Amino acid sequence: MEISRVSAVARGACAALLASLLLAVGCLLPTAARATLNDDDLPGKPLTDGSVDELAAGTDEEDVHRILLHAGEEARITVSGPGGTDYDLYLYGPAADDIGDPYITASLTSTYPEQITYVAAETGWHYLRVRRYFGGGAYTLFCERRLLSLQPPTTPYRLWGRNRYETAVEIAAENFPGWRNVDHVILCCGEDRAAADPLAAAGLTWTYGAPILLTSSSYVPETVLDALSAIRVANGPFELHVVGGPVSVPESRLNDIANRVPGLAYDRIAPYGNRYELAASIARRMREERPNEYWMRAIDTEFVFIANGEDPAKFFDALALSPICAHTGFPILLVGKDHIPAATAQAITDTGATRRIVAGGEMTVSADVLATLGVAPNISTRWSGRTRYDTAKKIMSSAMGAMPPILSPLSTGAVAKLPDALAGGSFLGLRRGCVVLVKTDGVPDVTADFLGGLSPVIKRCYVFGGTNSVTDETVLEIGDALVP
C-alpha cells in the first residue's frame, strides 16, 4: 500500500514499513516532519506579489510558483536578481501537468528585468517556472495584474450545498477544478462551538495555496470524504493540515478518512492550545513555510490583523479580514474584548509588524486593548463601522487604500451566515476578492452602495450558502446593486 511521501522521507525504511501496517488498518499517519512546499515542479508554491526566493548556484536549478488568473486578466510578471545572475521565466497554462509540458510564453533574455506579459485565455491556476541560467542567489518576483474589457456582473453566482460541509466543498471545488494539482488540504471543525478555529486558517490558504474543508467532530460528511478521495485520485498522496486539537477533530475522524483515502499523512496545528494559541501557531507556520515571503515586499509595511476571538457574534470581523490574509500573507491574531492573551502578545512580538490593524469598534475590541497594542497612527489602527455591515465595508475599503498594489476586488462574496462562509474568505483571497455582508432577507444600504461603487472592477460576485442563508430575493437585490 502506498504511504505518504512525507512519512517515507521523515522516518526512513523502518518507519515506512510501520506506516504501511498502520494504513492497512485504517490509521492516518501523523507526520514527524512536514513536507516542504514543492518548489521544483507543478503545482509549486503560491505566488505572492513581491515574493522573494533563492536558487543556490550549483544546486537548485528552478523554482515553480502558481497563480490564479481570470479569463481576460493581463499578468505582467517580472523577476530581478543580484548582479552576475540570469534567471529565465516560463509560464504554463492550467492544463499543464509538469514542467516538461509546452509552456505558453517565456522570457529568456540575459538582462534584467526579465518580464512576461500574458492575457489569460481561461480562468484557472497558471504556473510560473523560474530557471537559474547563470549565477545564483536571491531573486524577487512581482506580478502586476489588471482586467481588460471589464463587463460588470449583474447575476451573482451561488455556491452552496445542503449544509455547511457541502457548501465548503462546493467553494473549494470552484477554485480547484477537477481537484488538479492539490498537494495540501486544510481541515477544520465546522461546528458552531469551534467556529473560532477556521477564523485564522486563511493564513494557511496563503501558505499552501490549499482548499479548506470542514468536518464534524462526530462524523466526516460523505461529501467531504468524496472530495478527499477525488483529490487523492487526481494527485496521489497529499498532506492534510488539521486545524485544532482532538476535541475539534478527533483522531477517530482521521481514521475515518484513512479508511476511505489511504496513503495520507497529516499534521495537527496547535493540538493542545486554545483558539488564541491556534491563531498564533498558524502565524508561526506561515513564517516557517515561506520565510522569505512572510511579509510582502511590494509595499514597505508589515501588517498584522487583530480580531475578537472571544464572542461568536463578533466573528464576522475576522471573516471580513480573511480574504486579505489569504491573499497577502498578513496573519490574523485573536484577542478578547478586554484582554490580549499571552500567545497573541508573543505572536505580535514575533512578527515584528509595524502596523497592527484592529477590526471592529470598542464593543468588539476595547480602547484599552488598542492602547496596549500601541496607539500611534503608524502602529495601531482601528477599521470599524457602526454595524457589522459597515465594518466589513470599512475593512475592505481601508485594505484597498493601504495596499493598493496588492488588492483589487476582482471577485466579491456576499454572506449572511457565518458557517456557510468559513471557507469563503480563503476562496476570495485566492481570487483577490473581498467579503461583503448581507442579511438573509435583504441587502443593507451600506452594502448596496459599496457593491455599486465596486461594480466596474468586479469580475464575478459569489453568494455563499443556500436560500436559508441568503434568499433568492436577496440575491436579486445584490444583482441590482451591481448594475452601474
CA dist 118 and 14 (Å) reads: 48
CA distance linking residue 416 with residue 68, whole number of Å: 26
Domain boundary assignment for the chain: 1-33+181-272, 45-147
45-147: CATH class: mainly beta
Which value, in Å, is the radius of gyration of the alpha carbons in the chain? 22
CA 258 to chain centroid = 25
Show the 3-state SS of the chain.
Answer: CCCCHHHHHHHHHHHHHHHHHHHHCCCCEECCCCCCCCCCCCCCEECCCCEEEEECCCCCCEEEEEEEECCCEEEEEEEECCCCCEEEEEEECCCCCCCCCCCCEEECCCCCCEEEEEECCCCEEEEEEEEEEECCEEEEEEEEEEECCCCCCCCCEEECCCCHHHHHHHHHHHHCHHHCCCCEEEEEECCHHHCCCCCCCHHHHHHHCCCEEEECCCCCCHHHHHHHHHHHHHHCCCEEEEECCCCCCCHHHHHHHHHHCCCCEEEEECCCCCHHHHHHHHHHHHHHHCHHHCCCCCCCCCEEEEEECCCHHHHHHHHHHHHHHHHHCCCEEEECCCCCCHHHHHHHHHHCCCEEEEECCCCCCCHHHHHHHCCCCCCEEEECCCCHHHHHHHHHHHHHHHCCCCCCCCEEEEECCHHHHCCHHHHHHHCCCEEEECECCECCHHHHHHHHHHHHHCCEEEEECCCCCCCHHHHHHHHHHCCC
For residue 407, the model assigns a pLDDT of: 62
Please give the pLDDT value at position 18: 35
Cα atoms in the Cβ-side hemisphere of radius 13 Å centred on 264 = 31
What pLDDT was estimated at residue 17?
Answer: 36
In this prediction, residue 334 carries a pLDDT of 97
- Per-block mean pLDDT, blocks of 10 residues, the chain (484 long): 31 35 50 66 85 83 92 91 93 95 95 93 94 91 79 82 96 94 95 90 94 97 98 94 94 95 89 92 92 58 91 93 92 97 94 89 96 78 96 93 70 88 90 93 96 86 95 95 85
pLDDT for the residue numbered 26: 53
The pLDDT, as a whole number, for residue 375 is 65
C-alpha cell at 412: 466579491
Residue 306 and residue 281 in contact, taking contact as beta carbons nearer than 8 Å? no
Q: Is the peptide bond before 43 cis (omega within 30 degrees of 0)?
A: yes
Distance CA 287, CA 378 (A): 23
Structure confidence at residue 85 (pLDDT): 92
Question: What per-residue confidence (pLDDT) applies to 150?
Answer: 57
pTM of the full predicted structure? 0.89
